[in-house]
Amino acid sequence: MTVDPDRLDALLEAEPYLDDAGFTARVMDRLPPRRRDQRPLVLGLSAVAAGVSAALVLPEAVRAGLTALAGLALPVAVPPGLLVGLAAALVVAAVAGLVVAVAVEA
């Protein structure tokens, strides 16, 4: 027995109407409000915690990284302290942006 594909498609695409006397609307109105997404906050704080932990646990690696920065051949003479300061400023800006984003969502 074969089924006519056009008829089958028409049956599947047709939206049946079921009168529920407003039940669906009442249920949707009583649902709790959507919770805000905590993912950006958790990811930002995790990144900051990972950086701080790495600096505390691996001070020799941080010192080696700073030494490597000092040895970079840059087109302009930039002291490593300036590079570290710029990186710190970027981290502070990222954390501040994260705080503002969380405050706006609240």
- State the average pLDDT for the chain: 78
| Percentage of residues in the chain having pLDDT higher than 70 | 84
Average of per-residue pLDDT across 42-49:
83
pLDDT tens-digit map of 64-102: 777 777 777 666 666 767 777 777 777 777 777 777 777
Average of per-residue pLDDT across 6-31:
84
Are the C-beta atoms of 99 and 48 separated by less than 8 Å? no
Tokens of 63: 């010192």
Average of per-residue pLDDT across 7-32:
84
pLDDT on residue 29: 92
Q: Does residue 26 carry a pLDDT above 90?
A: yes
What DSSP line would sit under 61-101, residue for residue?
HHHHHHHHHHT---SS---HHHHHHHHHHHHHHHHHHHHHH
Domain boundaries, the chain: 39-105
Confidence of residue 36 (pLDDT cuts 50, 70, 90): confident
pLDDT on residue 31: 92
